[in-house]
């Protein structure tokens, strides 16, 4: 399997670092991802699995690193003074704390972190301790971080997503009827809390939201009872449960012939590929995402062709994330150097998506807690195809 070759290639990198050829001092980037190299290779660097087998648990981190390596290949052609160190956060030889302690000895100036929820605070603390910007590239979570100007959440948090949905509906669907279909749960209560809080605090005309609680096995009749055949109804899925969301869309698709509806989903819907199937067609599906890439630009096509021709694979979203984040922050580091943290929200060097990095302020003392990407794309699907992007 071609991916096994790439997996071994990463292992073979001297000290797991990649250099762009250039004489003289170099800027340094640290990329942390769960690669599980020690689990996939033995002490003799022999692959533990068969040639046609690849460990799925290593896939997401490897995809991100593959994208980062492609970005480094592009930067190498420009002969930029840059050096990138890759750290395996699931190494059995060094703990994450030990690896982060190398921030000073390896002279890292920015850290790109593909992290788990359990690791998030360690990354944030390390950034603050060493005065090095840490870019959380994957988790839509702040981990309870406060008073930390060196921590950036690139994947917008649930609170930001809910506020974005609210503002989107205010702008495009303000006069419609709104029903929030939800289930019992802690996260569901948090979603309702965010909606209610924003209803009270936003300066515009508030949306009139009706909440309807359902069980996981809700029937089509329960939905039909809430709809009006003479009015357009915007149905909001007030839960992150993907199965609940798919059931909601499939049953509303059946009712669409008699009841005009639009369905608005949560950020988890960006990963639901089932929406291309026939049972989800006819109804309009809208969801927000901070990462939208139609893959029609020159760089995306080049990456896709490389994967098709060399690896016999199709690159997933995390490959493109690895490329654009590495490229963008490498370029910003080269431009600003030690002043990168003061320019972390610079919008230059866009690759696929726009980022809008804004400070998140503590409401109690008005201090800066961290930075967050507040740019959201809203994607409208219908009949299994992207219809509109806002």
191 with 56, same domain: the answer is no
CB 247 within 8 A of CB 273: no
The answer to whether residue 321 is domain-embedded is yes
236 with 280, same domain: the answer is yes
15 with 135, same domain: the answer is yes
pLDDT lower than 50: segments of the chain: 1, 4-16
- What per-residue confidence (pLDDT) applies to 43? 66
DSSP 311: I
pTM of the model: 0.91
335 with 217, same domain: the answer is no
Expressed in angstroms, the distance from the first to the final Cα of the chain is 39
- What per-residue confidence (pLDDT) applies to 53? 61
- What per-residue confidence (pLDDT) applies to 273? 85
The tally of domains found in the chain comes to 2
Which domain CATH number covers 308?
Answer: 3.40.50.2300
The arrangement of strands across the sheet holding 82-88 comes to 17-20, 82-88, 27-33, 110-113, 134-136, 151-153, 368-373, 357-361
- What per-residue confidence (pLDDT) applies to 5? 44
- What per-residue confidence (pLDDT) applies to 15? 39
- What per-residue confidence (pLDDT) applies to 51? 60
- What per-residue confidence (pLDDT) applies to 146? 95
CB 18 within 8 A of CB 72: yes
Dist. CA 148–CA 161, nearest whole Å: 22
Nearest one of 258, 257, 271, 211 to 235, comparing CA atoms: 211
E-state strands within the chain: 17-20, 27-33, 82-88, 110-113, 134-136, 151-153, 177-182, 209-213, 233-237, 261-264, 284-289, 357-361, 368-373, 377-382, 385-389
- What per-residue confidence (pLDDT) applies to 18? 53
- What per-residue confidence (pLDDT) applies to 9? 45
Nearest one of 96, 90, 100 to 41, comparing CA atoms: 90
Instruction: For residue 357, give Cα distances in angstroms to 109, 324, 344, 371, 372.
Output: 19, 15, 7, 6, 5
- What per-residue confidence (pLDDT) applies to 1? 46
145 with 182, same domain: the answer is no
The answer to whether residue 325 is domain-embedded is yes
Query: What is the length of the chain?
Result: 390
Dist. CA 309–CA 82, nearest whole Å: 28
328 with 339, same domain: the answer is yes
- What per-residue confidence (pLDDT) applies to 202? 87
Nearest one of 63, 77, 68 to 17, comparing CA atoms: 68
Per the structure, the complete domain to which residue 134 belongs is given by: 2-155+294-355
313 with 270, same domain: the answer is no
């Amino acid at each position: 399997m071609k991916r096994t070759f790439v997996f071994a290639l990463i292992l073979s990198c001297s000290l797991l670092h990649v250099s762009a050829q250039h004489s003289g001092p170099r800027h340094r980037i640290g990329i942390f991802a769960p690669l599980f190299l020690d689990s996939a290779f033995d002490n003799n660097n022999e692959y533990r699995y068969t040639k046609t087998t690849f460990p799925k648990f290593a896939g997401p981190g490897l995809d991100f690193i593959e994208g980062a390596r492609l970005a480094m290949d592009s930067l190498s052609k420009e002969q930029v003074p840059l050096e990138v160190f890759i750290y395996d956060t699931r190494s059995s030889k060094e703990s994450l704390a030990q690896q982060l302690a190398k921030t000073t000895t390896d002279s890292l100036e920015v850290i790109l972190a593909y992290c788990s929820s359990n690791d998030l605070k360690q990354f944030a603390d390390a950034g603050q301790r060493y005065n090095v910007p840490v870019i959380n590239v994957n988790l839509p979570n702040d981990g309870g971080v406060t008073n930390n100007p060196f921590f950036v959440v690139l994947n917008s948090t649930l609170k930001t997503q809910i506020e974005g949905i609210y503002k989107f509906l205010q702008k495009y669907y303000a006069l419609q009827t709104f029903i929030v279909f939800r289930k019992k749960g802690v996260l569901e209560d948090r979603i309702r809390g965010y909606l209610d809080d924003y209803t009270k605090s936003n300066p515009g005309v508030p949306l009139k939201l009706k909440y309807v609680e359902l069980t996981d096995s809700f029937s089509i009749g329960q939905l039909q009872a809430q709809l009006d055949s003479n009015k357009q109804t915007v149905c909001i899925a007030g839960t992150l449960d993907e199965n609940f969301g798919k059931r909601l869309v499939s049953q509303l698709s059946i009712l669409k012939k008699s009841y005009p509806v639009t369905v608005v989903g949560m950020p988890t819907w960006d990963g639901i590929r089932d929406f291309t199937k026939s049972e989800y067609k006819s109804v309009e599906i809208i969801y927000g995402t901070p990462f939208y890439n139609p893959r029609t630009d020159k760089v995306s096509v080049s990456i896709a062709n490389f994967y098709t021709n060399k690896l016999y694979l199709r690159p997933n979203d995390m490959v493109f994330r690895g490329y654009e984040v590495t490229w963008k922050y490498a370029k910003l580091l080269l431009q600003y150097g030690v002043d990168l943290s003061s320019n972390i929200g610079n919008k230059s060097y866009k690759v696929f998506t726009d980022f809008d990095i804004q400070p998140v302020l503590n409401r109690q003392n008005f201090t800066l807690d961290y930075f967050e990407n507040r740019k959201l794309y809203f994607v409208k699907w219908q009949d299994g195809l992207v219809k509109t992007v806002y």
